[in-house]
Every structure is written in C-alpha cells, then in structure tokens.
Structure 1
Amino acid sequence: MNTISNDSSDDESARAVTVRQRIFFVVLVATMGALAFGYDTGIISGALPYMSAPADQGGLGLTSFTEGLVASSLVFGAALGSFLSGFFSDKFGRRITLRSLAVLFVLGSLGTALAPTVPVMVAMRFLLGIAVGGGSATVPVFIAEIAGPKLRAPLVSRNELMIVTGQLIAYVASTLLSYLLHDEHLWRYMLAIAMIPGLLLFIGTFFVPASPHWMVAEGRLHEAKKILKHLRETPREVRKEMNEMKKQARKAERGPDVRTLIREKWVLRLLLIGMGLGFVIQFTGVNGFMYYTPIILKSTGLGTSAAIAATIGNGVVSVIATFVGIWAVSRFPRRKMLMTGLFFVITAQVLLGLVMTLVPVGLTQSYMALGLILLFLFFMQMCISPVYWLLMSELFPMQLRGALTGTAVSMQWIFNAIVAFSFPPLMAFAGSKVFFIFAIINIGSLAFVALMLPETRGKSLEEIEQHMRDKFGEKNVSEEPA
C-alpha cells in the first residue's frame, strides 16, 4: 500500500512540475512583449544624443523641440495602442492580439532604425508606441487568465520584472555600444536591437495556447477545458475553474449586453478606480526620476559621465526591487503593499526636497540625492508597479476585461506623458520644491488607495468579479436561485 501511495505521490509531483513548466513557458513568451516595452522606453535616452547630431555626421539634426517630439511620440502611440488593443483582444483573443503586436514591434523597431528623416522617425516611434501600449494592456490579462488563482500574483508580476529588465538592458547596451562602437550611425544599432524580443514574441505565440477564459466567453467550452487540462495540476482544479467560468458566462448571457454593462454603476466605478490607479503610479513621479536622473544629479554638481552612469544604478535597483516585489505580492494584500510603497515614496521625496534645499552643492549633496532616488525607486518598483499591473489583470469583469483594461492602461500612458512633459519645466520653475509638490500629490494617492481600492488577493477572477458586484451594491439579480 505504501509503495502504491508513494508512486501516486511521485506522479502527482511530476505532473505539478510539468504543469508549472508549461505555464512558465507561456509567461516567458508573453513577457517578451514586456521586455520589448522596457527596452523601447529605455533606449531612447542613450540614442537621442547621437540622433541630435547634424545629418552630415550621421544624426537627424534634432532640435530641442523635435527631440521632445521623437521621445514623446512613443508615449502617445502607447496611449492609443493600449486603448485599441483591449477591444481587439476581447474580439479576437489575447494570443492573436499579442501576435499582431509582435509584428508592430518588429516593423516599428526596423522603421526607427532606418528612419531617414525626423517625420519618418516620429511616425515609426508612434507605430512602436502602439505595440508598446498594446502589450502593456494585453500581457497582464493573458498571464492572469493562463496562470490560475495560485500562480496569478507572482506570474503577472513577472511582467513588471521584464519591463525593468528591458530598461536595464537598454541602459547597459547604450553605454557599452557608445564605448565599443565608434560609428556615426550608432543610434541605429541601438534601436534595431529592439526587433529581437518582438521576433521572439511572434514565434512564441505559435507555441502557446489561447486563453481558456476567452474561449469560454466565446462559447468554445470543449477547447477551453482541453487547454485547462494542460495548465492545471489536478482534475479538481479544472472542474472548479470551468464551473466558475461557465457560471460567469451564463450570467453574462442572461444579464445586460456589453453596451448596457458599460453603463452599470459598479462597472463604471471599477473603471474609475482603474484610471485612478494609473494616476497613482505615474504621479509618484517615477518617470521624472527614470528620464531625468542625470539632470537632477548634474544640478548637484556631479559630472555628466557620472550622472549618466547613475542611470544604470536606477535600472539595477529597479530589477532587484521587482524580484522582491514578486516574492511579496504572493504573501501580502494588494492594498497594504500599495500603501506601504506610497508611504516610503512620500518619505523619500520629502527628504530629497530637503537635501536639495538645505545641503550645499557638492559631492555630499550628490550622494545623498542619489541615495534617496534609489530609495524611491526601490519601494516604487517593489510595492507599487507590480501591484498596479496585477490589479489591471484582476479588477475588470470577463465580458469587458480587455476593453476596460485597455482603457485604464491608456489613461496611465496619458498620465505618463503629462509627468514626462511637466517635470523639466517644473524643475526650472520650482527647483527643489518640485519634490514637495509630488509628495503632496502622493498623500492624496495614499488616501485614494485607502478609501477606494478593494482587496483582490486570494480570489479567482470569477470570485473577484462577484465580489466587485457585491461590494459596490450591484447584486446580480439574474443569478439562479440556490
């Protein structure tokens, strides 16, 4: 009897390992989109100085205006891409959407690398932005629907890990290429590298399954069950998840159509919360630090080379913090992590403002400022960014998950653009007081999270949907009696 029991236990353990390997492979493929996202948003800081050179020296002759246009065109494209991809993924599925975005990643990267003029560069950066924004909205949802309740939190958080890894690779690649290659077209090589994760994503989508949740929503129950059998460890998990998905699908059929559902108060409230979270993550000022750390440090008297090298420090700290965040997000409530992160972000910003105001310009001020920027980034990337992307994959109902996620993430990109544009003039106008301004904004964000955000930890996607209906006073009147 013991031998039989041991054999059975070994078989179950072996199956659990196999299932997790399958899921991890799907996540690896999907997060190639996040890696491309991170690289494309990070590499421009290293490419711009070379692109600004005159045309007869291999550049595009950028002015301060066209430099900003080239940098920001990706952000505006991302806002459009995240909005449109949500509707596209609801209609055609997450996998097909990712495959289409992979094509845009490759075309956009190739186009920017070969761009002969500024208008072509702006157009190609906008196209690349559509892919970046589409990936930012689609990848977390796809991972959440593939992973299941047990693995959802750590696996969706790998999306953020791949984003910051892509940024770190971009910072390191731009530094290494600038030292190793003495070519006036160096910036073209920097931008061309972005094709690699796009190609890997395109190829990988032919080897991963479609989302079972989307399959059920489309009425393709047999295919959904077949996929789940390969992605869950026990038949009991398959039955439970299939029953929950079918139950939600039946409610959707009996309930209002999509247009009516969008107008329901609980759905609108969730959308507003999702948009509010986009405000929270961007108005921490994170991209002000990621894009303009060299400018901040140069104002303390630090040399240009040392200030640029510090950007690599930002990338390293972000990667380390995201690893810690992946560990923490499976163990602590979402609300508590967000509130903890915001508390330390506010603290770092207040201290940075004091250092920039009270400490004399010099190495002491430079090191203290850099230390506080890294402290800010550590808690930002550990507690806020991973939880934001996780919530974007969890909050919204199955019928509208792609569309609402896309809309909320689109607003996040718009807030990103506002911060990126406003940070330099704010620094010029207010000086070190800009850090106190962001601290005050983040106190408001902390209150928003404490008062408005529901907790989603430990629930399946279907349980979360029902919880949202109940919490916001919209009981499903069409539910079958017990």
Structure 2
Amino acid sequence: MTTYNEQPSRAALPPDVPGPHSKRLGIIAVVATFGGLLFGYDTGVINGALEPMTADLGLTALTEGIVVSILIFGAAIGAVVGGALSDRFGRRHNILLLAILFALATIGCVLSPTWPVLAFFRFVLGLAVGGASATVPVYLAEVAPAERRGSIVTRNEVMIVSGQFAAFVINAIIFNIWGENPGVWRVMLVVAVLPAIALFIGMLRMPESPRWLVSQGRDDEALAVLQQVRTPERAQAEMAEVHELAEEERASKTAGASDLGVRWIRRLILLGAGLGMFQQFTGINSIMYYGTQLLGDAGFSDQAAIIANTANGLFSVLGITVGLLIMNKVNRRTLLLGGFALTTFFHLLVGLSATLLPDGPAKAWFILVFVVLFVFCMQGTIGPLVWLLLAEIFPLKIRSLAIGISVLVLWLSNAVVSLGFPVVVESLGIAPTFFIFVALGVLALIFVYRSVPETRGRSLEDLEEQFMRQYS
C-alpha cells in the first residue's frame, strides 16, 4: 500500500529563520506575480467588454464565440511552448519575454479595426497567458524555501483572481463614465498595459531561479541567488542538496522530452494532467465567464444579474485569501479532498434548487448563494492547490516541460467546458448541467484519493526521490 507521509531521506536543512533575505524573497514574489495579475485581468476583461465590442465591430454570435474562446486555445499552446522555453533559456528570461508579449498583444487588441485582427491578437495574448501559467508558479516554487513554498506559490493564484475581480470593477467604472462611446471596450482592454510594464521593469532586477542555474552548471550564480533569499547556512546546505540531485539527474539522463517514456515520469505527468483536467471540470471558469448569463437564467433581471455577478469576483478573492492562510497548515492531499467534496456538494445544491424550487426570487437567490459558496470553496482549495502541486511534483530537468503538458490539458479542459457550458444550459437547463458537474466531482474525488501524494513540507529534491521509488 502506498504511503504519502514518508520522512525525507536527505539530511534536514537548517530552519528558514526570518531576516533581510525574507524581504528580498517577498519582493521577488510580488514582482513575479504581476504575471498572474495579467493572467486574471486578460481572461476576465472580456466579460464586460463583449457587449460594446459586439456593437462596435458588428460581431455575430459565431464571431463572439471565436473572439472569446480563441484566447483559451492560445493559452493551451502557450503553456507548452512557454514551458519548453523556460527550461531552455531560464524562468526569469521567459517572464521578461512574456511581459513584452502581454503589452504588444494588448496594444494590438486595442487598435484592432476588425474582428479577425482582434481575434489574432487575442490568440497572441493567450500565448502570453498560457506561458505565464506554466512559468510563474515554477519560478516561485524554485526560489521559495520548502517551508514557505505553499504560501509563496499561492500568491500567484491570489493575483489571478484579483485580476479577474479588478477587471469586473474597472469595466463597470469605465462603462459608467464612457459607456456611450462605441470604443469604450478599447479603454477597458488598454488598462492591462500598465501591469505588463510593471512586470517587465520589475523582473529586470530579479534573480534567475537557483535550481535552473544549477541545471545549467552555473553553480556560483545559483549560490549567489540563494544567498539573497536564505540565511548563509541555509543557502550552503540547500545548494549542496540541489547540486547533488542535479548530478544524479545528469547521470540518469533525466533531461527532456525523451524521458516521457520513463515509467515513473510518465505517471507523474498523467497525475499532473489529471489534476489540471479535474480543476477545470469543476466549472469554475464557466462561472467567471458566464456568471451573469447563469444568474439571468436563474431568474434575476438583466441589471440585477450584472450586479449580483460581482459577488462571484469578490468571493473568489476572499476564497483565495483564506486558502493562502491555511495552505501551509493543512496537508495538500487533505485540503484537495475537502475542496472537491465541498464543490461537488454545492453543485448538487444548485441542481436541486433549480429542480425543486418554483420560478421566482427565492429560486434565484438560492442559486446565487450556492454558486457563490462554490466559488469561495473552489478558490480557497482546488484552485491554488492544483497550481502548487504542479510546481512541486515534477523532476527538475523536465519540470517546465511537464508542467507545460499538464497546463495544456488544463487549458483544453477549460476550453471544452467554457465553450460547452452555455450550449448545455440552453439545451438541458441549469439543473442537468450542474448534475453533470456533480458526477465529474465524484470522479475527481476518486482520482485524488487514489493518486495524489502528500507534498507539504518536503523539499523538491526529496519529493523527486520519493516519486522515483514509488512509481518505478
């Protein structure tokens, strides 16, 4: 029987005590997570910009769907390409390129004269979004000490949901000021240039990942980076551990795509792909993209649905904030099981409310409450945990490539659910749609219980040793 709480086989590292290095680590985390902010804003801004965009560019229902969904397909490709580039050229280098791509693609969207041009630049923007989703969590995980890795990596998810919420709020403000202007959607989109500039300037002063530097044989540079974000004793000890593992990896030729044929690595990638798929099969992005439409179908007026939908953004931020506070206090596996249990429960309540309650305000309000509670639980557990686990479970030499494959599956699952959700609701209704989510939630619980290991408090190097023994 597999156990998930084996003790580390390597010698214990000196404790991560507070000091000047802690401030430096905090600054690195803030700057890098501007990539998450851009991720969130660029995926959320279309919600409020779509109506004036449709009027200005003469979009049909088909071209609306293309403009909205093409970013997701771009993100799926960007996750794989971004992961490979990150492995080859470095995490920091990749984030700098992504900042430039975010800015250029945003400006292209703002200046688009026709919908095909807009769709092209939305696709390019999706490449940046996907690249950020595959690179930023890895960079944070490799810079952070094991004791703080959960809270540091989860900050990226905080910035993602904050970016989505900011998009909802900024769209509402801009629309109230310039709503009569047919080009108001361009103002909504151009706001994203500001965090892209901040990300680029900030990353110019940030260090490269020490673990990536070791993988390139640049030991002196890696030690210098660790000394910026650790105590001197901890930096030396951690450097020795990373270097030892890098030597083992070089000896075993664990170095790239060819290793997808190695049984234990293949099983880890299937695990990562499954986590990404089931995260999206909760339907979270259906709510973030179509929440207003769902609440309208539940019985709210159009104006009330728009206002009520802001609660999804607010509770998304509150959920991730709670998740950040408890991430390093509860085992990852326990929290993930609890998250899927709660989200499946609230899916069931939404479906039962839609089935059993008569049409009217009470039905609409019950569905709103259960949807908001679903969003809160999802963003406090499954949302950040999946990104954190993806940053933890893969061996150093193929970490970004493997995360790229996993995030590709995540984005394609996102695309399937996001494209299918309005069609399924229209053809089957709210209740059957959420009962489908219930069934998917039960499958997710079985998958997590049987397959997901515990990673809290373990060094990335020790986890790799465990997986090698466990899955070989």
1:361-384 deviation digits (Å, cap 9, x = unpaired)? 111111111000011001100010
CA distance in structure 2 between the aligned counterparts of 1:447 and 1:133, rounded to whole angstroms = 28
Say whether 1:366 aligns with 2:364: yes
**How far has the Cα of 1:236 moved from its partner?**
2.4
CA distance in structure 2 between the aligned counterparts of 1:405 and 1:297, rounded to whole angstroms = 35
Point out 4+ residue stretches in structure 1 off by more than 4 angstroms: none
CA distance in structure 1 between the aligned counterparts of 2:141 and 2:42, rounded to whole angstroms = 24
Structure 1 counterpart of 2:310, from 304, 309, 312: 312
**How far has the Cα of 1:16 moved from its partner?**
2.7
1:412-466 deviation digits (Å, cap 9, x = unpaired)? 0000000001111111222121111110111001100000111111101101111
**TM-score scaled by structure 2?**
0.95
Q: Please state whether the residue corresponding to 2:458 is helix, strand or coil.
A: coil
Counterpart of 1:352 in structure 2 is 350
CA distance in structure 1 between the aligned counterparts of 2:19 and 2:170, rounded to whole angstroms = 35
Q: Which has the larger radius of gyration?
A: 1
Say whether 1:164 aligns with 2:166: no
Counterpart of 2:341 in structure 1 is 343
After superposition, residues 33-432 of structure 1 pair within 5 angstroms as 33-53=35-55, 59-181=56-178, 182-232=180-230, 234-256=231-253, 257-431=255-429, 432=431
Counterpart of 1:434 in structure 2 is 433
Work out whether residues 171 and 311 of structure 1, in 8 Å CA contact, stay in contact via their aligned partners in 2: no
Q: Which residue identity does 1:358 align to in structure 2?
A: L
Work out whether residues 295 and 309 of structure 2, in 8 Å CA contact, stay in contact via their aligned partners in 1: no
CA distance in structure 1 between the aligned counterparts of 2:309 and 2:191, rounded to whole angstroms = 20
1:212-247 deviation digits (Å, cap 9, x = unpaired)? 000000000011111111110x22211221111111
Work out whether residues 339 and 450 of structure 1, in 8 Å CA contact, stay in contact via their aligned partners in 2: yes
Counterpart of 2:449 in structure 1 is 450
**How far has the Cα of 1:308 moved from its partner?**
1.0
**How far has the Cα of 1:471 moved from its partner?**
1.3
Q: Which residue identity does 1:338 align to in structure 2?
A: L
Which has the larger displacement, 439-448 or 300-309? 300-309
**How far has the Cα of 1:259 moved from its partner?**
4.5
CA RMSD of aligned residues (A): 1.5
Counterpart of 1:4 in structure 2 is none
Aligned length in residues: 456
Work out whether residues 335 and 381 of structure 2, in 8 Å CA contact, stay in contact via their aligned partners in 1: yes
**How far has the Cα of 1:17 moved from its partner?**
3.5
CA distance in structure 1 between the aligned counterparts of 2:195 and 2:408, rounded to whole angstroms = 22
Alpha-carbon spacing, 1:403–1:259, altered in 2? closer, same or farther (3 Å): closer
Which has the larger displacement, 373-382 or 303-312? 303-312
1:373-406 deviation digits (Å, cap 9, x = unpaired)? 0110011000100101101111110000111111
- Segments of 5+ residues of structure 1 without an aligned counterpart are 1-12, 54-58, 475-482
**How far has the Cα of 1:467 moved from its partner?**
1.1
**How far has the Cα of 1:260 moved from its partner?**
4.1
Work out whether residues 52 and 62 of structure 1, in 8 Å CA contact, stay in contact via their aligned partners in 2: yes
**TM-score scaled by structure 1?**
0.93
Q: Which residue identity does 2:394 align to in structure 1?
A: F
**How far has the Cα of 1:104 moved from its partner?**
0.5
Counterpart of 1:469 in structure 2 is 468
CA distance in structure 2 between the aligned counterparts of 1:459 and 1:450, rounded to whole angstroms = 20
1:264-316 deviation digits (Å, cap 9, x = unpaired)? 10000000000000111000111112222222211232111110112211111
Q: Please state whether the residue corresponding to 2:57 is helix, strand or coil.
A: coil
Q: Which residue identity does 1:111 align to in structure 2?
A: G
CA distance in structure 2 between the aligned counterparts of 1:192 and 1:397, rounded to whole angstroms = 39
Q: Which residue identity does 2:213 align to in structure 1?
A: M
**How far has the Cα of 1:358 moved from its partner?**
1.0
Q: Please state whether the residue corresponding to 1:151 is helix, strand or coil.
A: helix
